Amino acid sequence: MKKYRRSLLSLLLALSLSLSLTAPWALAASAAPEGTEAPEETPAAGPVVEVKEEVESQLLKDMHIEATAAILVDAATGTVLYDQEAHERRYPASITKVMTAMLAIEAIDRGELSLDQVITVSSEVTRDVGDGSSTQDIKEGEQLTVQDVLYCALIASANEACNVLAQVVSGSVDSFVELMNQRASELGMADTHFVNTHGYHDPDHYTTAYDISLMCMEAMKHETFRTIVTSKSYIVPATNLHEERELHETNALVSTWRITGYYYQYATGIKTGSTPEAGYCLASSASKDGVDLIAVVLGAENPKREDGSTNRLQFSESSRLLDWGFNSFSTKKLLDSTYFAGTIPVTLSRETDRIGVQATGELEAILPNDLDPADFQLTPVYDADSLEAPVTKGQVVGHVTVSNGDTVYGQLDLVAVDSVERSELLYRLAQIEAFFSQLWVKVVLIVLAVLIVVLLLRWLLFGRRRRYGGARRAYRGGHYSGRRRR
């Protein structure tokens, strides 16, 4: 019986030891190296934010363009450097032809057309071409190459040339206009709707300065488009219905043939446009010292100067905006791998309980010259509150975001600066703790504990009573009944 009691007590002891492993302090105590005390609990690592006063460029406050809408964009990154009512809907006039020409050039790039392919002009050539609109007198039945028609559309701004391109690309003007709107949607031109190929005024034909910048950035990716819009002139050979045509660029930033006094040495395009409803408009581009800018000016006026000459603000304001961009902005480094974000806790290792974290890579942005990246906010965010060993040097553990007020300039990954080995003992103990922390395991252990306690109590209460009761019955009159011992 004593042997049975010892076995039962051993079972109870083992059960209590198992339950004790689920306590947080048990793992910490067992994990401590010999001869040392268990380390104090390290608080979880949360985002560390460098809070600095929001800065704003005085250059942006002081700049104003004499037009109803304007925008300046870095062509390489799409960074908006200047925005003046750039998301307000306006009439684009002949800047529409950028989309028409781009779709034709994209068809050429896909191999569906070629520049030297001869087109026979259809009956839709004068579709929606109003009286007094820009034209090169292209006639039904006339034969021209695709290249000739592109130059007529972009250099001389011929409205009927756009209808010719529409038919050769899509089969009809209506189908082509659908394609124009589809491509606009793909480019993110959310506030644009086309109803014709050339921009002759229609109340339902509209866009924004911002949308035009998106369209121009895409068009300028094509070498054929860039070649055409930087050309000062072009000769269309004589056709079956027309003598030789000499075309001259309408953009005074590129060519001085039509208008003098506005030539801009860095100009590389793009397209003029004007109607009474749209005002005088210009989408322009320029390159200087490896920087490519795109400017859009909509709804400018042409006021008279005191000397009686005309101030063509679509050109003067565009060149002023481009100059301002080149002189007022530069590419600055916002963040690189020298940025140290601090440390993050590490578990399951005897080597260390924390590890350093730093940025990896490099982040640059085009900024006004009067802004200092040192004044921007850096916000590190970790993927987890702690890391489990093993940790590999260069392992991504989070990211750091660079912002200035509401403007986010980008982010870099945060990586571990060293490697950390895992302790197998701590790893196994952690597995045991995880096992016993499961709800179903706890329930089973509790049930077993209750069962053992019930059995023990039953044995203590009833087993002893049966034993001694039997002994009393066996002893009668001062001696035991039954067989005598020898």
The verdict on residue 376 lying in a domain is no
Indicate if the pLDDT at residue 485 is higher than 80.
Answer: no
Q: Confidence band (pLDDT; 50, 70, 90) for 115?
A: very high
The structure tokens 């900024």 sit at 367
Q: Could you report the per-residue pLDDT of 58-93, keeping only the tens digit for each?
A: 777 789 999 999 999 999 999 999 999 999 999 999
Are 100 and 180 contacting, i.e. CB atoms less than 8 angstroms apart?
yes
Average confidence (pLDDT) over 230-257: 97
The partner residues of 381 in beta bridges, in order of sequence, read 399
The verdict on residue 72 lying in a domain is yes
Helices (H) and strands (E) in the chain, counts: 13, 19
Taking alpha carbons only, the member of 339, 336, 365 closest to residue 81 is 365
Is residue 95 helix, strand or coil? helix
| Cβ neighbours for 183, distance < 8 A, ≥ 6 positions apart | 99, 102, 103
Q: Could you report the per-residue pLDDT of 408-424, keeping only the tens digit for each?
A: 999 999 999 999 877 66
- Give the integer Cα–Cα distance in Å for 92 and 210: 12
**What pLDDT score does 16 carry?**
47
Give yes or no: residues 120 and 258 share one domain.
yes
- Give the integer Cα–Cα distance in Å for 116 and 426: 75
Give yes or no: residues 14 and 113 share one domain.
no
> In terms of pLDDT, which residue wins out, 467 or 395?
395
How many domains are there within the chain? 2
Give yes or no: residues 83 and 16 share one domain.
no
Burial 289-305 (b: 16+ CB within 10 A, else e): eebbbbbbbbbbeeeee
Angle at 279 between CA 132 and CA 133, to 5 degrees: 15
Indicate if the pLDDT at residue 52 is higher than 70.
Answer: no
Which of 88-102, 181-195, 392-406, 451-465 has the weakest average pLDDT?
A: 451-465
Which of 109-118, 139-148, 233-242, 464-473 has the weakest average pLDDT?
A: 464-473
Q: Is the dihedral of CA 379, 382, 383, 384 positive or negative?
A: negative
Are 247 and 234 contacting, i.e. CB atoms less than 8 angstroms apart?
yes
Give yes or no: residues 109 and 166 share one domain.
yes
The verdict on residue 396 lying in a domain is no
The dihedral formed by the CA atoms of 335, 336, 338 and 341, expressed in degrees to the nearest 10: 60
Taking alpha carbons only, the member of 131, 181, 178 closest to residue 159 is 131
Taking alpha carbons only, the member of 79, 55, 28, 47 closest to residue 325 is 79
**Which amino acid is residue 296, in one-letter code?**
V
**What pLDDT score does 348 carry?**
80
Are 288 and 268 contacting, i.e. CB atoms less than 8 angstroms apart?
no
Q: Could you report the per-residue pLDDT of 299-319, keeping only the tens digit for each?
A: 999 999 999 999 999 999 999
Average confidence (pLDDT) over 320-343: 95
Give yes or no: residues 189 and 245 share one domain.
yes
The verdict on residue 404 lying in a domain is no
The verdict on residue 241 lying in a domain is yes
Angle at 435 between CA 429 and CA 437, to 5 degrees: 100
Give yes or no: residues 139 and 9 share one domain.
no
Indicate if the pLDDT at residue 323 is higher than 90.
Answer: yes
Are 138 and 152 contacting, i.e. CB atoms less than 8 angstroms apart?
yes
For residue 9, the enclosing domain spans: 1-22+437-467
The structure tokens 């499961």 sit at 438
Q: Could you report the per-residue pLDDT of 163-173, keeping only the tens digit for each?
A: 999 999 999 99
Give yes or no: residues 4 and 142 share one domain.
no
Q: Report in angstroms the alpha-carbon separations of 98 from 83, 111, 169, 286.
A: 21, 20, 15, 16
**What pLDDT score does 349 carry?**
79
The dihedral formed by the CA atoms of 306, 308, 314 and 320, expressed in degrees to the nearest 10: -40
Are 198 and 54 contacting, i.e. CB atoms less than 8 angstroms apart?
no
The verdict on residue 374 lying in a domain is no
What residues act catalytically? Answer: 94, 97, 157
Indicate if the pLDDT at residue 272 is higher than 80.
Answer: yes
Are 387 and 355 contacting, i.e. CB atoms less than 8 angstroms apart?
yes
**What pLDDT score does 471 carry?**
54
What angle, 0 to 180 degrees and rounded to 10, lies between the N-to-C axes of helices 146-154 and 159-170? 140
Decide which of 300, 328, 358 is a domain's last residue: 300
Average confidence (pLDDT) over 29-54: 35
**What pLDDT score does 250 carry?**
96
Indicate the helix (H) or strand (E) that contains 345. Answer: strand 340-347
> In terms of pLDDT, which residue wins out, 23 or 450?
450
The verdict on residue 80 lying in a domain is yes
Give yes or no: residues 180 and 270 share one domain.
yes
Q: Confidence band (pLDDT; 50, 70, 90) for 6?
A: very low
Are 23 and 336 contacting, i.e. CB atoms less than 8 angstroms apart?
no
The structure tokens 């030891």 sit at 17
Indicate if the pLDDT at residue 460 is higher than 90.
Answer: no
> In terms of pLDDT, which residue wins out, 31 or 125?
125
Strand-pair category, 340-347 with 387-388: parallel
The verdict on residue 240 lying in a domain is yes
Give yes or no: residues 188 and 263 share one domain.
yes
The CATH number of residue 154's host domain is 3.40.710.10
Tell me the average pLDDT of the chain. Answer: 85
Decide which of 300, 316, 346 is a domain's last residue: 300
**Which amino acid is residue 103, in one-letter code?**
L
Q: Return the DSSP state at 123.
A: G
**What pLDDT score does 22 carry?**
42
- Give the integer Cα–Cα distance in Å for 428 and 422: 11
- Give the integer Cα–Cα distance in Å for 235 and 238: 9
What angle, 0 to 180 degrees and rounded to 10, lies between the N-to-C axes of helices 159-170 and 173-186? 90
Taking alpha carbons only, the member of 300, 278, 272 closest to residue 158 is 272
**What pLDDT score does 455 carry?**
84
**What pLDDT score does 443 carry?**
82
**What pLDDT score does 55 carry?**
44
Give yes or no: residues 179 and 267 share one domain.
yes
Give yes or no: residues 117 and 221 share one domain.
yes
% of the chain exceeding 70 in pLDDT:
80
Which of 68-82, 151-165, 174-188, 344-358 has the weakest average pLDDT?
A: 344-358
Residues making up the chain, counted from first to last: 486
Indicate if the pLDDT at residue 290 is higher than 80.
Answer: yes
Strand-pair category, 80-84 with 69-74: antiparallel
Q: Could you report the per-residue pLDDT of 204-223, keeping only the tens digit for each?
A: 999 999 999 999 999 999 99
Q: Confidence band (pLDDT; 50, 70, 90) for 295?
A: very high
- Give the integer Cα–Cα distance in Å for 330 and 346: 41
Half-sphere exposure of 96 (CA within 13 A, CB side): 33
Indicate if the pLDDT at residue 117 is higher than 90.
Answer: yes
Give yes or no: residues 77 and 3 share one domain.
no
